[in-house]
Structure 1
Amino acid sequence: MMFDRLVEHLASFGDQIAVFTDEAHTHDGKLTYAELADRVAARTAELGRRRRLLVLETRNDLSTLITYLAALAGRHVVLPIPADGDVTAVVDAYDPDTIVADGTVEYRHRPRHDLHPDLALLLSTSGSTGSPKLVRLSRDNLNANAEAIATYLDIGAGDRAMTTLPMSYCYGLSVIHSHLLRGAGLILSEHSVVDDGFWDLLQRHAATSFAGVPHTFDLLERIGFEDMTLPHLRYVTQAGGRLAPDLVRRYAALGQARGWQLFVMYGATEATARMAYLPPELAHDHPGSIGIPIPGGSFSIEPIDGMADDVGELIYRGPNVMLGYAHETADLAMGRTVEELRTGDIARAGADGVYEVVGRSSRFVKLYGLRIDLQRVESALQAAGIEAICTDGDGLLLVAAVRQMDTAAVRPTCTAAVRARGDVAQLAADASGLPRAAIRVVDVDEVPRLSSGKPDYPRLAELAADRAAPDAQRLDLRGLFADVLQIDEASIDPGQSFVDLGGNSLSYVAMSVRLERALGHLPSDWQRISLRDLQTTTRPRRWWGATLETSVALRAAAIILVVISHAELYTVWGGAHILLGIAGYNFGRFCLTPLPRGDRTRHLRNTIAWIAVPAIIWVAVALIITNDYTASNLLLANKFLGPADSMTAGRLWFVEIVVWTLVALALVCCTPIFDRAERRWPFGIALAFLGLGLALRWDVFGFGLGRDAWFTVLAFWFFAVGWAAAKSTTAWQRAAVTLILAIGIVGYFGNPDREALVFVGLALLIWLPAIRCPSAFTVAAGIIAEASLFIYLTHYQVYPLFGDHKVLGVTASVIVGVLLTQLVTLVRTWNRRRTRGRSDVRRGLALGDEPLLDQGRGDDTVGPDQAPGDHAPPARRGR
């Protein structure tokens, strides 16, 4: 049994590859089983021989894997938590002896817990750390479940699995256990399936499988998975919630056509992950079924009064059933208290032995991938002195809470009700483990009840639906996205992301700053996260700072340097070349996305228009009121058409480079050959274009460009550095781009200070995704970065107006650019709303209705408590 003699088991596979990773402290990104066994043994010795209760902060990296296996090998009891999880409740309840975070071991005190000999692993029942209720699992549970999964998936030594799920989640751990059991390989990855890096790793290491929850398959729908060529893929597994039957059929058929299989699975943490699976050959005829019991397990149906004879509660028995629950430290000394698992699901068994779940018998619901005990939430509210009942609806946790009363006036007090409402939402969030945005509180005078006196849960759902429309204080990102992207709010699907909706490098800055304010933080890679998921990531705002993306900070700093240098307040050249690298960086992020080729091309075309149209309009204005430009500037082609001897006509060289570079790349991107190649080798293609840029930089082709190339499209290699940085997903790739930058920059300007400034700026772009800084600085940097285009366009005409007052000239240049940016945004917003209003009137007249000219934006108001789904189009509200 693997977990009884873990180090010996790992060592028995010798030179077979156990782990594939891009981490630097491995040999060629690979670790053999023998090497893994040695590292696990060494870490086991570090943890000591006395059994400990160990809380492990998990990431899908080698350090976490080694520590986890070492803790099991040393017979310690492991409690894995997500790296960004809140451990307060767990630490308070269980007082762990040791906490391992960021690879650092903190020995809090000498081992002093009474731990049952069979106890090996503790997992949260809900997949979060918001509740101290834990599942107690033994080594026998782990062995049995790993063996069953490895058997029905037929895992062999040649298999290699992507770690798509966190190690704190029973599904993610089951992938690791089952593959290590059979000597198969693990490809450690923190990437989402929407990341280019995920597919790069999958292709490079010839992965044979990956696992997904229903949301994973929503993402696969958006990135063109059906068109991918994955010759090594053998199977895909799905669990973590019900996948729609039509999707089961579709992916099963796709797999059959492409040579891989789809395994739909059913399980629970209480069963060490898995209870049933649907054999791939049954997916077409039974897409809504959970399948058959796993090897070694069995189901039975317990009749329920009032239901058909063949329907009842699903009961599972097998060696992978947990020892029992733990609620406090004393429970860790208990042995087995559970012999069978009452799933709480209502099911029926078909004549062919295939089981189907048709409903729920208990007050457990599944929201946002978490299993929520509604009774526990109600008890927590009651303990806090709040009379309330809970149910689920529209994908949210609904709470009916009795209003707090002013005893002096015997009436609801507005301030008290508002305060209670906020408290109720936070208490319900804490008790359930859900984000606060997923809670909808309905204030009531008394709990709705049936004639029998029992709570009337259907009535609560009706009250929530009735009050959803006028409630304008909950977070809804659709209005925010519509304002920034200048699109019709009704056309926004909550399943779409910023990238899906056509977001580009210019709108990105405004969006990132406003999201920071709305959410209280900025999730990593937020631009590819759906609106629905973004609305569940709210956090309390920290007084000491906010997240600012490095690209935004650099953009703000660079444009300030450009203005300062041109106004001769202080000469610090190099800002424009940093901006050129940022332009390439954003090209890689927002134009070369996983979207279909047509969408890519359209987004690129829109990005060009966002830059070129304002530039041409401003040049036209400047031609009327100044002598600064010539007709060739209207075409943004002074470097092509001349006049070459004009001191002012060449001022827009940066805009010309960006626009014509994007035009050329748009022509390349629309070709099927480039599109396929870039999707398969995103970093390699970026590196190839960087090589082309460097060839021009060193005049390999003998064009005799000289130093004039600094300010022409032949400075493209800075753009390509940013592009390659955006596609760098590993440390060695970032190191390679940095090395190329260092080699290329030396001697480029003939000014070491200027070269050092550009190198440092672009190196920060390559290595540092974001910084923490005071909130006021974040807002200011965001405003300036958002206005960088208009500051660049207009500052040439602004600062000369102030003569020798250079500080005022620089300040005025920035202010004018910011104001002009805000004015353009307001005009675009006004025009969009006017156009939408006319469309609404025409649609209303076509339907024979009165025009709803006074409807306003009451339902669109953004507030801190707005939950996903609160902002539905009026037609779906049932008004």
Structure 2
Amino acid sequence: MGDVRATAQVAARIADDLARHGERPALRSATGTLTYAALDRRVATARDQLAALGEAQLVRLRPAPTIEFVVAWLAALTGGHATLLTHDDGLARAYGASVEHAGGHWLTTGSSAPRLHPDLRLLLSTSGSTGSPKLVRLSADNLDANAAAIASYLGLTGDDVALTTLPLDYCYGLSVLHSHLLAGAAVVLDDRSVTDPALWERARTEGVTSFAGVPYTFDLLGTAGWPELPTLRQVTQAGGRLAPDRVRALAGQGAREGWELVVMYGQTEATARMAYLPPELAATHPATVGVAVPGGAFRLEPVEGAGDGVGELVYSGPNVMMGYAETPADLALGSGPDELRTGDLARVTSEGLVEIVGRRSRFAKLFGQRIDLDRVQTLLGLGGYDAACAESVDGRQLVVAVPGRPDAAHLADVAAAAADGTGLPAHAIRVVGVADLPRLPNGKLDQQALARLESGPTPVVDSPEASIARLYARILGHPHVTADQSFVNLGGDSLSYVELSLRLESRLGRLPADWPDRTVAELAARLAPGSPRRNPVWARVDTTIALRALAIVLIVGSHTNLWVLLGGAHVLLAVAGVNFARFHLTDEAPRERVRRVARAAARVAVPSVLWIGAVALTRGEPGWRTVFLLNDLLGSRDWSEPAWYYWFIEVVLLLTVGAGLLTAVPRVMAFERSHRFPLALGLAVVALVPRYAAVLASYDGDVIHSTLFVAWLFLAGWAAAVARGPRDRTLVTAVLLAGCWGFTGDTARDLLIIAGVVVLVWVRTVPWPRLLVGPTGVLASASLYVYLTHWQVYPWFETRWPLGGLLASLAVGVLAWQVVNRAPAWVPSLRLRPSHYAPVQPTDEEVR
């Protein structure tokens, strides 16, 4: 088969002499417009500042649709440095990034740059969520050639205005920026979802002439409604195959409304684009990807058994990558082969148009992601699911075949596991039950037959909103959750917060700090293509979850004499204050606030009273005040064993109920809503008075275990939760330091408390090894039950095997927690959540 060629490309540089476009608008952001002349000056300044740090740096940039990012990227590009575009901190560390950009400044990381090839300019990740991390190495020539080719076949001019509808660490999204800068056009920088009407309102105001989309973009627009853009002249599509009927429909719509649809084909390995379908052919040849981009060429490599006229598509052109990088040493390598074997099987139509008909390898390209089908099967197998995978014939779905005629519930579980393992939206996964997996005569799986599977019982595929709503319903015990509801207004509390936050993180990646207040619909929007890729090694865990898990381990380990690290319970008091502010200070009527606090108190008090009562009945102690959690109110001011064993539970209950009743008073509620931080901080300061009065009066009672003297910790946690900005957090920190210093009489204990509360105030989420996320979530969720039961467990091991005492105590507490989770429906106040829902055990693949 001969070459399939297009016209020669235009030779130009993306960022050379930006000032040649003068005062034409280059970048339009929410903060204003930057002209090409101004952009050129800012890039030159940033380039000079970067040069002062040394030559040939490996620059790590976090991509974002902002002027600051674009300036930093162009400065690194024109300054001769190599840039790694990624949100993944682990990837940046693994490759030894030596410089980062933050807050408008270049910052050294402390690492020396690895050896870099002088032509290397850009590193982009190409593997999907189920592939091993691998980077594509691109040169300045690759970038310039591809941008010039795109600008040429799209006919871009200085009058065009593009909108950033795709992320800038995605080669397609970045190519939009490059090609428009090359043509002297304007780019509107915006990070809102295509389902957000405000995005399109701004697009109309800015006179946007084009936007780019992947197949899912058009699915979203089909649901949310096509935007009205009078100035629109062009819509481009790539990132996966769009069904021919959809191409034909969009082309027809464009013809009626005065804009063109340009279907394109590419891979990161070819910088961005390899082929485009001339818009006048979209309606008549919707199944093809068209012709090679200017300067590029295709040929077909024969493949045995592929069929007549079908072969592997091989591309050549100046935009073919330098090669892959799998280790830092690979960054010094020169260019590899001039050709790119795409892995796609294709044929050429009689009109000379390329048509992709399948994949040669066991990789699928769906929603802009490269999916390793064999790895998906392995992940499903590890989860206990026998299944086989293929890419559907139309290239729009992952087909998962499950043998043995499984029922609908089993298919739904497989669908959920496949979605978690791939990061694909649920509707992109087709799970089919079959009697037996289709196989070839040689015993191998019949990939073509798998790809065609459509019959059999298939589970209902949830939309992102429906999937998250169902997750909320299962964890929070609500029979029906709507898209406009949030965790807070559904009555979520600290007990359900742990499980739900980890489950959401597994689906969405890093969560915004205010996710409990965001609606299901707002969170579902984060499942759109282009959300940051999830780190395969590290996750972000809410600080309160990490502190709960660490504190309970420190508490039990200290009691078993494995170590002596006291103070964990006092850190948990501050955590309880944070959670009180998060989950109980909602915008609701006073009566509903009282009900909410009462429900939360019952979930702690009921299992505590039942357990302690059972212990008292069998052992004759502790006394009735301890059983009913009244020691702090009615007992001696000088606690002793075993009365003080459960002091923490008593204090948390008293403070939660007291604070809830106080803030349910209408005038206090009104003041709290308008002065959240001053009220919380003021109460914390007032609560320090008894703590210092006890010192001045030489009080001989138990200060560190009594509500009156430790309330400041809870209240300061409340203040930390509502603090806004560094000034507020500094004030909270000052109050906590004033209370902690010298509080327990043990410097080491005071320092541990200080460390815990300072982290709580200043750090919202912490990096956490992904393998430990599951155990951490379980310990945090079960911490109440571990605390309750460990007093009866560890003494059996205390003198002989302290580590065994810790492990046994944790195991018994987790078991008790699971038993309570499965309590019958007639004990609603005892259950933490619906009895049918499994405990938190996110796997390495689930949490990203």
Taking structure 2 as the reference length, the TM-score comes to: 0.55
3-state SS of paired residue (2:430): strand
Report the CA distance between 1:758 and its aligned residue. Answer: 1.1
Matches within 5 A, 1:170-569: 212-213=192-193, 236-238=198-200, 267-269=210-212, 290-294=227-231, 313=255, 379=357, 381-382=359-360, 384=362, 389-390=392-393, 397-399=396-398, 434=424, 438-442=428-432, 463=455, 466-468=457-459, 484-485=475-476, 487=477, 490-492=479-481, 499=488, 501-511=490-500, 530=520, 550-563=543-556
> Partners of 2:503 and 2:113 in 1: how far apart?
38
RMSD over equivalenced CA pairs, Å: 7.5
Secondary structure of 1:750's aligned partner: coil
Cα distance in structure 1, aligned partners of 2:707 and 2:468 = 40
Q: Compared with structure 1, are the counterparts of its residues 671 and 66 closer, same or farther at alpha carbon in structure 2 (3 Å cutoff)? A: farther
| Aligned residues of 1:636 and 1:656 also touching (Cα < 8 A) | yes
Deviation at 1:754, TM superposition (A): 1.6
- Asked if the contact 1:638/1:649 (under 8 Å) is kept, the reply is yes
Structure 2 runs not aligned, ≥5 long: 1-13, 33-37, 137-141, 181-187, 236-245, 290-343, 347-353, 364-388, 440-447
Q: Does 2:730 align with 1:743?
A: no
> How many Å separate the matches in 1 of 2:781 and 2:41?
50
**TM-superposed deviation, 1:743:** 3.4
The residue type paired with residue 268 of structure 1 is F
- What SS is found at the alignment partner of 1:660? helix
Match of 2:785 in 1: 790
- Partners of 1:705 and 1:147 in 2: CA distance: 79
Partner AA of 2:192 in structure 1: G
Distance, in Å, in 1 between the alignment partners of 2:702 and 2:23 is 62
SS of corresponding position for 2:255: strand
Match of 2:579 among 571, 586, 594: 586
CA contact (8 A) 2:499 2:781 kept: yes
Unaligned runs of 5+ in 1: 21-31, 92-96, 153-162, 179-185, 187-208, 218-235, 242-260, 279-286, 347-359, 365-372, 405-411, 448-455, 840-855, 868-879
Amino acid at match of 2:48: A
**786-795 or 325-334: which moved more?**
325-334
Determine if the alignment matches structure 1 residue 770 to structure 2 residue 796.
Answer: no
The question of 1:827 aligning with 2:823 is answered yes
Q: Which residue number corresponds to residue 604 of structure 2?
A: 611
**CA spacing shift, 1:315–1:762, aligned 2, 3 Å:** same
- Name the CA shift for 1:785/1:85 in 2 (closer, same or farther; >3 Å): closer
Distance (whole Å) between structure 2 residues aligned to residue 110 and residue 615 of structure 1: 64
Change (3 A) 1:859 1:57: closer
Distance across 2 between alignment mates of 1:428 and 1:576: 35
User: Does residue 693 of structure 1 match 2:698?
Assistant: no
Rounded to whole Å, the distance in 2 between the matches of 1:437 and 1:298 is 27
| One of 40, 47, 54 as aligned partner of 2:46 | 40
- Aligned residues of 2:622 and 2:643 also touching (Cα < 8 A): yes
Q: Which residue identity lines up with residue 42 of structure 1 in the other structure?
A: D
| 1:326-372 Cα distance to aligned partner (Å, 9 max, x none) | 757888999xx9999679799xxxxxxxxxxxxx97799xxxxxxxx
Structure 1 residue 745, shift from structure 2 partner: 1.5
Give 1:877's aligned residue. Answer: none
Match of 1:659 in 2: 653
Render the CA deviation track for 1:67-117: whole Å, top value 9, x for unaligned.
Answer: 135358869999965558999xxx9xxxxx99978866968645548x9xx
Q: Which amino acid in 1 is paired with 2:480?
A: S
Deviation for aligned residue 1:641:
3.2
Asked if the contact 2:548/2:780 (under 8 Å) is kept, the reply is: yes
> Residue 755 of structure 1: CA displacement?
0.7
TM superposition shift of 1:627: 5.3
Give the equivalent residue in structure 1 for 2:368.
Answer: none
SS in 2 for 1:787: helix
Distance 1:391 1:659, change over 3 A: farther
Cα distance in structure 2, aligned partners of 1:481 and 1:754: 39
SS of the residue aligned with 1:58?
Answer: coil
How far off its partner does 1:759 sit? Answer: 1.3
Identity score, percent: 27
Q: How many pairs are equivalent?
A: 667
CA contact (8 A) 2:570 2:753 kept: yes
Conserved? CA contact 1:315–1:343, under 8 Å:
no
After superposition, the C-alpha distances for 1:113-153 in whole angstroms (9 at most, x for unaligned) are 8x9xxxx99999x9x999999995579999x9998879x9x
Flag the 1:77–1:140 CA change in 2: closer, same or farther, 3 A. farther
Give how far 1:824 is off: 1.4
Structure 1 residues 401, 720: CA separation in 2 closer, same or farther (over 3 Å shift)? closer
Q: Deviations over 1:221-241 (max 9, x none)?
A: xxxxxxxxxxxxxxx434899
- Whether 1:640 and 2:640 are equivalent positions in the alignment is no
Q: Distance in 2 between matches of 1:675 and 1:791?
A: 35
What is the rounded CA distance, in whole Å, between the counterparts of 1:789 and 1:824 in structure 2?
12
Distance 2:670 2:694 in 1: 28
User: Is the alpha carbon distance of 1:670 and 1:73 closer, same or farther for their aligned partners in structure 2, counting shifts above 3 Å?
Assistant: farther
Match of residue 67 from structure 1: 72
Q: Distance in 2 between matches of 1:389 and 1:794?
A: 52
| Native 8 Å contact 1:390 1:399 kept in 2 | no
Other structure's SS at 2:579 match: helix
CA distance in structure 2 between the partners assigned to 1:44 and 1:403 by the alignment: 55
- Residues 354-413 of structure 1, C-alpha deviations (whole Å, 9 max, x = no match): xxxxxx97799xxxxxxxx99999745355499864459xxxx43558999xxxxxxx99
State the one-letter code of the partner of 1:505. S
Q: Give the TM-score taking structure 1 as reference length.
A: 0.54
Residue 717 of structure 1 aligns with an amino acid whose one-letter code is W
Change (3 A) 1:770 1:211: closer
Distance 1:437 1:310 in 2: 25
Change in 2 beyond 3 A, CA 1:468/1:309 = closer
- CA offsets 1:264-301 (integer angstroms, 9 cap, x no match): 98851389xx9xxx9xxxxxxxx956334339x699xx
Q: Which amino acid in structure 2 is aligned with residue 581 of structure 1?
A: A
**Cα 1:701/1:147, change in 2 over 3 Å:** farther
**C-alpha deviations, 1:405-434, integer Å up to 9, x for none?**
xxxxxxx999xxx9xx999x999999xx94
Secondary structure at the aligned position of 1:785 is classed as helix
Q: 1:614: how far off?
A: 1.9
Which residue pairs with 2:322 in the alignment? none
SS at match of 1:212: coil
Indicate if the aligned counterparts of 2:125 and 2:135 stay in contact, CA closer than 8 A: no
Deviation track 1:482-515 (CA, whole Å, cap 9, x = no partner) reads 6654x25x53457866556433222334556777
2:660 aligned partner, one-letter code = A
Alpha-carbon distance in 1 for matches of 2:573, 2:773:
22
Aligned residue type for 2:46 = V
* Inter-partner Cα distance in structure 2 for 1:561 and 1:579: 11
Q: Name the CA distance, whole Å, in 2 between partners of 1:759 and 1:652.
A: 23
Give the whole-Å Cα distance in 2 for the aligned partners of 1:122 and 1:540: 15
1:723 maps to 718
Contact 1:515 1:521 in 2 (8 A): yes
1:579 is displaced (CA, Å) by 1.6
The answer (yes or no) to whether the contact 2:59–2:83 under 8 Å persists in 1 is yes
Q: Report the CA distance shift for 1:615/1:731 in structure 2 as closer, same or farther (over 3 A).
A: same
C-alpha spacing 1:692/1:607, structure 2 compared with 1 (3 Å): same
Q: Distance in 2 between matches of 1:780 and 1:428?
A: 18
Is the alpha carbon distance of 1:780 and 1:111 closer, same or farther for their aligned partners in structure 2, counting shifts above 3 Å? closer
Distance between the aligned counterparts of 1:174 and 1:592, measured in 2? 45
Distance 1:428 1:617 in 2: 38
| Structure 1 contact 10–34 (Cα < 8 Å) conserved | no
